[in-house]
Structure 1
Amino acid sequence: MAKLTKKQKVAYDKFDKTQSYSLKDASALVKEITSVNFDASIDLAVRLGVDPRKANQMVRGVVTLPHGTGKDVKVLALVTPDKEADAKEAGADYVGLDEYLQKIKGGWTDVDVIITMPSVMGKLGPLGRILGPRGLMPNPKTGTVTMDVARAVKEVKAGKIDFKVDKTGIVHAAIAKVSFDANKIAENADELLQTILKLRPTAAKGTYVKSIYLSSTMSPGISIDAKSVN
């Protein structure tokens, strides 16, 4: 086992790693055990009893966190000229089409979310090998392919995130910053958890939520009692 640093030892001394906590208590604890000198992100990791290799057990969705993520999300709106003004007014950081398609083709991906229109998706297809691995390919299921571009931009800026179970059966998502009040952290986490619970595949058998951990950048994970969020 790797040797713990002094900061890690201090963090572990503040909670019982063999115990599961309520969401409220874990949200307060994660603030106490974070020692980095920047506003760290707080992440939720939920292990699900599903087999992601099977299409009928895939868990994917979107959720708007009540208090946002605390992150300044950079949005690229790939739209036709008639939608540019709406996208800019809604707060998109980058707005355009062909010039940004060329930049992406050259390897530029300095954005967090790409929002586009159904008529533009054909042009994005060839860029799938660049955008896909980075999780940037727009998708109608997550609301990033829409005719109402302005609304989509506003929702993303306000704290709308999309999540997807990975190949190991875990949903990872950044849900807050350490600077958030503990209650706001708990409310954001609960919003995501309740959304995941509603998406339980009918084909999934046995225990659906196997474990939940809350952590911040470089902090230990705090186990949350899964029964307390059902």
Structure 2
Amino acid sequence: MAHTRPLTACLSRLTKSSIAASRLEAPRFAAIPYQTKRCAATKAQPQEKKKKSRNTFLQYDLKRADQFALLDAMRYIRAFEVGRMPTSSKYELHVRIRTLKNGPIIRGFGQLPHPFKTDVRVCVFAAPGSAAAAEAWAAGAALVGEDEIFDQIKQDVIEFDRCICHIDSFPKMIKARLERKLGPRSLLPNAKQKTVVTQVGPSVKSLLGGSGYKERDGVIHMAVGHLGFTPEELQTNVKAFMLWVQRDMRKLGDKLRKEVHEVVLSSTNAPGFSLTGEYRGANSIAPKELRGPL
């Protein structure tokens, strides 16, 4: 029988060599350095810059707009209003202003050279039964009184468009604390706006024949006549209103400068027509043709 020790030795050498060879052939993966890992990270996307919001109202270029003389604008507006009563529709003027969004606004009141009937309701704070109350009723006021009207205002029942106060009723109005109700509506009487008066009658008549205006979003709007007006009457009212606006802009001073950008004439049922500032154009019709029924 052969000896088993040499065979065992050969098998042991074969096993060791094969294991060593397998170890040499096995692939090895090197550890990735920390610096390589960090550089392989994705780059941060650049953040978009936020657009600055405008502090002025957007105005379009008037060179691209069709503009009309006053007679031409009246002619087209009357064509849109054909078949209506001359006093049922009103001419409306819109003045677009170059101004800051958060700047002071223009507001005022005036009586046009050619007033026209409006539906303005005037309230007068005056003691019932007094001479001032009788004068207010005679002048055409819609509401006259003190405590009863104060209670209605506190209950948000405000059925008037203009409000004045007799000087004797002013302390009582202050005690009623109507600032939160009338202040936001620009109806609270005060001496600065000349709505606290000693003579009620003339003030009521001027309010009934006058018109108020206020700047909203860079535009001042006001009715300047009805369709029965002649071109000369409408021109006079437009000039008067523009003088008021320019006067109010000058009061603000140079630090808060406002400028007129565009003036548009429209009516109750007609679109707006941008005005050139001229009364008559090269191809305008005669003013006498814009008088009388539509």
- TM-score with structure 2 length normalisation? 0.61
Q: Structure 1 residue 138 and structure 2 residue 189: aligned?
A: yes
Runs of at least 4 residues off by over 4 Å: 35-38, 204-207
Matches within 5 A, 1:22-101: 22-34=69-81, 37=84, 39-51=88-100, 53-55=102-104, 58-80=105-127, 81-101=130-150
User: 8 Å contact 1:45–1:214 — kept in the other structure?
Assistant: yes
Determine the C-alpha separation between the residues in 1 that align with 2:260 and 2:171.
35
Q: Structure 1 residue 162 and structure 2 residue 212: aligned?
A: yes
User: 8 Å contact 1:84–1:96 — kept in the other structure?
Assistant: yes
Amino acid at match of 2:154: K
Equivalence for 2:229? 180
1:77 Cα shift? 1.0
Q: Using the aligned pairs only, state the percent identity.
A: 28
Bigger Rg, structure 1 or 2: 2
User: 8 Å contact 1:165–1:171 — kept in the other structure?
Assistant: yes
Determine the C-alpha separation between the residues in 1 that align with 2:213 and 2:123.
19
1:209 Cα shift? 0.8
1:220 Cα shift? 0.8
1:77-125 alpha-carbon deviations (Å, 9 max, x no partner): 1113341122122221221111111122222222221111345266266
Q: What is the root-mean-square deviation in Å for CA atoms of aligned residues?
A: 2.9
1:46 Cα shift? 0.5
Determine the C-alpha separation between the residues in 1 that align with 2:261 and 2:214.
16
Structure 1, gaps ≥5 residues long: 1-16
User: 8 Å contact 1:107–1:130 — kept in the other structure?
Assistant: yes
Q: Structure 1 residue 109 and structure 2 residue 165: aligned?
A: no
User: 8 Å contact 1:50–1:204 — kept in the other structure?
Assistant: no
1:165 Cα shift? 1.9
1:19 Cα shift? 1.9
Amino acid at match of 2:219: I
1:53 Cα shift? 2.9
Amino acid at match of 1:102: D
Counterpart of 2:254 (choices 203, 214, 217) is 203
Determine the C-alpha separation between the residues in 2 that align with 1:205 and 1:36.
46
1:207 Cα shift? 7.0
- TM-score with structure 1 length normalisation? 0.76
User: 8 Å contact 2:94–2:264 — kept in the other structure?
Assistant: yes
Determine the C-alpha separation between the residues in 2 that align with 1:40 and 1:214.
13
Q: Which has the higher contact order (CA 8 A, sep 6+)?
A: 1
Determine the C-alpha separation between the residues in 2 that align with 1:111 and 1:204.
36
- Aligned pair count reads 208
Equivalence for 2:4? none
Structure 2, gaps ≥5 residues long: 1-63, 280-294
Larger mean Cα displacement after TM superposition, 190-199 or 110-119: 110-119
Counterpart of 2:242 (choices 193, 204, 213) is 193
1:226 Cα shift? 4.7
Determine the C-alpha separation between the residues in 1 that align with 2:255 and 2:269.
33
C-alpha change, 1:149 and 1:206, in structure 2 (3 Å) is closer
Counterpart of 2:201 (choices 141, 144, 150) is 150
Counterpart of 1:120 (choices 170, 179, 182) is 170
User: 8 Å contact 2:122–2:143 — kept in the other structure?
Assistant: yes
C-alpha change, 1:165 and 1:141, in structure 2 (3 Å) is farther
Larger mean Cα displacement after TM superposition, 93-102 or 177-186: 177-186
1:5-24 alpha-carbon deviations (Å, 9 max, x no partner): xxxxxxxxxxxx93212234
User: 8 Å contact 2:123–2:160 — kept in the other structure?
Assistant: yes
Determine the C-alpha separation between the residues in 2 that align with 1:204 and 1:27.
37
1:63 Cα shift? 1.8
